[in-house]
């Protein structure tokens, strides 16, 4: 199976999720979420989307969200073991010389807790990186395209259902 088909099959799996049933009886009604993105505006958009009352897929779930704008802040807090970490791949877009990117952050996170659920977001659709990270235990890799928010909602819903 090509990497593209592999990824598409993962995406379609989310689109098939029975979100209505999940809304009625999520396994977890509250999720602790970390958002890690160096773009503060985008981190706020993600937070707003997840907690928005107009987001019907995630209705019924409450969230505690912590936002970090660099890897160090995130890594200093992973002892809190959030239910999911939403991690941007590209954390050095503001040219911070000390910045490390999402793949390196992910490796450090799973060194601490190999069961930590991490969802990586990126516009970088380089299949070799995706495959490598998924093999290492990355929960999901979501490409920043038109379906990104829908896919993200589906993944969060699955995590709430403990799938």
Partner 1 sequence: MNPKTFDPKAIKDLLGHSNELIIKVYEEIDKGSWPVYEKLIHNYENQNWSSLKANAHFLKSNFRYLGNLEMFNILKTIENISLDETKRVEIPILMDKFSASFAQIMSELKEYLIFLKK
Residues that bind partner 1 (CB under 8 A): 38-42, 44-45, 48-49, 52-55, 90, 92-95, 123, 144, 149
Residue among 9 and 94 whose Cβ is closer to partner 1? 94
Residue among 63 and 149 whose Cβ is closer to partner 1? 149
Beta carbon of residue 64, minimum distance to partner 1 (angstroms, whole number): 17
Beta carbon of residue 148, minimum distance to partner 1 (angstroms, whole number): 10
Beta carbon of residue 39, minimum distance to partner 1 (angstroms, whole number): 6
Residue among 63 and 81 whose Cβ is closer to partner 1? 63
Sheet holding 62-68: strands in order across? 62-68, 30-36, 84-88, 118-122, 140-143
Beta carbon of residue 54, minimum distance to partner 1 (angstroms, whole number): 4
């Amino acid at each position: 199976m090509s990497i593209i088909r592999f990824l598409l099959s993962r995406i379609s799996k989310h689109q098939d999720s029975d979100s209505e049933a999940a809304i009625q009886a999520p396994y977890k009604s509250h999720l602790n979420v970390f958002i890690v993105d160096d773009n503060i505006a985008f981190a706020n958009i993600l937070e707003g989307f997840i907690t928005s009352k107009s987001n019907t897929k995630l209705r019924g779930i409450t969230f505690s969200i912590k936002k970090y704008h660099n890897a160090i802040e995130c890594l200093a807090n992973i002892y809190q073991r959030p239910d999911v970490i939403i991690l941007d791949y590209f954390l050095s877009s503001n040219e911070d010389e000390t910045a490390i990117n999402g793949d390196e952050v992910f490796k450090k996170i799973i060194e601490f807790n190999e069961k930590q659920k991490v969802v990586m977001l990126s516009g970088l659709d380089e299949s070799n990186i995706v495959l490598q990270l998924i093999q290492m235990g990355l929960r999901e890799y979501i490409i920043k395209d038109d379906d990104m928010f829908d896919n993200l909602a589906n993944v969060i819903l699955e995590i709430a259902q403990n799938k």
